[in-house]
Structure 1
């Protein structure tokens, strides 16, 4: 058939049987703050609160009568599932959606509300997708791919067709979220054939940057681990067709942090009073980063606000991290004297800066280690000024503003060092958010190694973040790492993390001449 004619396919797409022409809104406060005109294309206003409906409907609407009679199947834990379900309902076609067992109940309910049959299978998307492909073969159903299909790509490309009509002359750059690449490919193929002078950038989360690494390698690669905060774009490998299009038409790829995504969610809420999901705010985070790094002024920039299907319980975590993303808060571990008046003296040394958080527990007669948040009025450079000022005042401190353990776990755990927890090692984990995940972990651990520290918080996503300490003698470390590998949960060792040593690690016994409470490893670090 040759290479697809995407411009023709986009113009002929049938998405408007169900999709809406979504508006373009200016993010006015952010525009003033950054001295640029910043726009967002409101795909969160679609009937399923996401752009995914466009590609799913276009693909299903183009099926022949025999395929329609057999039915369709898809694998998804989120927006694609709802898009396929609503499209099939509109066309009177049977739809089955395979979803991981870890999928939040609110998303399962939403899919069933549109009349689709839901099959829960596996703990991960890959397991669900494998089951969907097996059902496709057994029943002859048509598999609706979430991104790597020309008809799906063309349906997503109608977003670009609209925005070119809505912003006909002034647009300079468009920023598009990228997971598997369907939306990015459709938008880039349309814009570059109609208005090639407009730059098109893909934006990826740092922990799932499959397109960035594929472009770097010159071929598609499979990421060994994918972060799940922006779950709508948590894809390990870019699509084959989407990669081909991206290499031809995309001007660049921007990677952004979790904190930057949270800050973009806050920007959207402050201006538009809507709450984007992490993947939905991804493009705005990339726009902000690109404009800042390139010192843009008076430019016309547009980001795709791709969705708003966020679990309410995730908002707590997003709120906590947004200040880090805006770099309006710094977090420090500071050693102060354990005596009356020390807190007052410390506040005075901050030179009237506002304290946003303060965690402390008595632990030693001479010194206290405090976990403190400080409001930044002059951006990230102020962290260095604070460090230098406190050092001049005689304080020892560590800047924890980029320390994931400190921001995610430690702020909720400050309360004293473990006593008698010999040979303790510390690890971060991602557990599937489902019944039995912890029990499986404990059963495999058995009675061989004692758990000496444990912290878990549910952030409303498919996976829980866990911080755990274990008592593992040095001669058993190899066997312990083998246990972790066999367990199959993603993990990172944090035994050398300075925040852990300051606030939680078992204290080494000190001779009278040392006179300090922190371990020798931390004393050298601060």
Structure 2
């Protein structure tokens, strides 16, 4: 990252005055989302950690902030032409909610693989939903084509000054709700949220008389910002693959990028397992339902990478950007998160197909205090000889050391367990 400037450049596309104007526009529309203290995480890190709960925002994410500001500032003629947008879910719902509040017709393109609950929620707010393309980028291209063809106003999910200003209102709220904040951590897709918060915080620093660390976080398989910042130019990714669909963006927005490279301290990446562990932690310890994209700031805190680089983070606020998670995805993420924490293990064994073998295996697992939750076996494999079967066993465990104990016990009994999860 470049060295943080002492004041915000006048050449940047968004300033504190824009964000303050956006905050006024949003007062009758959005929720001033709460800030939750995490006692468990604060104890682990020996510093205070708070969550800014945009997962509890109207439409389930921060996206309504930017969408409403962008659309409220349209002319009467533009409003009459309607709006068009593209999104995997959160921006779609934000645009649909804003359009309903402002009396504007909305057409929204969503990729064919978009989660059914997000598609249903978007339609329920009165927007016309068109499923198109395999990715958000393909849906975006079609939305832009439709805008050019019909004159509808294209509402970009992040690359627009009004969108950035709307998202920046979260920064103002954080400074009011946690006035002694030292570090703010934000998930990053296209960059509109991080850019808006960065502008708000940096311009307020002069009044506060102190510096605040601002860190962005991306999923490691959807991380376009680190190479782009290193090259000082937009570097699109060839492939994006992550459970955090809300930040699965292959190319940063130009306006957010210009802001982030000047005002943000760093952008880190986290693994899929890091994200899953964070989501589980939020559910168990704070009783919060957060989608994978919303849990990436916490993932960066929990994996200790930030602490190793910066030492004491001080009073920290993690922005939980959204809570719109498909229940089917939640099941998969929970399983992955438990597995990553050593609390769930699936093993595969090759057994001789004779009476009593499964009883023997079950007794070994039971004697080592693990709980079997599922068993499956097959004899249809080219890797097997006659009289052999593959058996897959799911079990609840009590941590990584316990997993090793169970594996060792099976090995000592002459079996060769292979960990699947």
TM-score tier by shorter-chain length is 0.7 to 0.9
Distance 1:334 1:22, change over 3 A: same
Tell me how far apart the structure 2 counterparts of residues 28 and 349 of structure 1 sit (CA, whole Å): 35
Mapped partners of 2:121, 2:77: distance in 1? 28
Calculate the TM-score normalised by the size of structure 2: 0.82
> Which whole-Å CA distance do the structure 1 matches of 2:68 and 2:43 have between them?
38
Q: 1:198 corresponds to which residue?
A: 212
Aligned residue for 1:504?
none
Q: CA deviation at 1:6?
A: 2.0
**What is the SS of the residue equivalent to 1:284?**
helix
Within a 5 Å distance, the mapping from 1:458-477 to structure 2 comes to: none
Match of 2:73 among 53, 62, 69: 62
Worse-superposed segment, 222-231 or 112-121:
112-121
**Cross-structure match for 2:227:** 213
Kindly indicate whether the alpha-carbon contact (under 8 Å) linking 1:350 and 1:390 is maintained by their aligned counterparts in 2. Answer: no
Shift of 1:273: 2.7
The number of residues matched between the two structures is 399
Write the mapping of 1:417-496 to structure 2, written as runs, cut at 5 A: none
Shift of 1:161: 0.6
Aligned to 1:254: 268
User: Relative contact order (alpha carbons < 8 A, sep ≥ 6): 1 or 2 greater?
Assistant: 2
Give the equivalent residue in structure 1 for 2:103: 92
Residue of structure 2 equivalent to 1:305: 320
Q: Which has the larger radius of gyration?
A: 1
- In structure 1, C-alpha distance between the alignment counterparts of 2:245 and 2:115, rounded to whole Å: 12
For 2:225 and 2:350, the matched residues in 1 are separated by 43
Give the match's secondary structure for 2:59: coil
Residue 181 (str. 1) matches residue 181 (str. 2): no
1:302 alignment partner, SS class = strand
Find out whether 1:237 has 2:221 as its counterpart: no
**1:289 and 2:306 matched:** no
2:341 paired residue number: 326
Gap runs ≥5 in structure 1: 401-405, 408-526
Uncovered stretches (5+) of structure 2, i.e. residues with no partner: 1-9, 380-384
Query: What is the Cα-based RMSD across aligned positions, in Å?
Result: 3.2
Rounded Cα–Cα distance in structure 1 between residues aligned with 2:240 and 2:51:
27
Whole-angstrom distance in 1 between the partners of 2:82 and 2:409 = 67
TM-score normalised per structure 1: 0.67
The structure-2 alpha-carbon separation of the partners of 1:350 and 1:263, relative to structure 1 and needing over 3 Å to count, comes to same
| Counterpart Cα distance in 1 of 2:223 and 2:94 | 24
Aligned to 1:449: none
Cα 1:353–1:220 shift into 2, 3 Å = farther
Q: Do the aligned residues in 2 keep the contact of 1:209 with 1:255 (CA within 8 Å)?
A: yes
- Cα distance change on mapping 1:298 and 1:143 into 2, 3 Å: closer
SS of corresponding position for 1:294:
helix
Shift of 1:129: 1.7
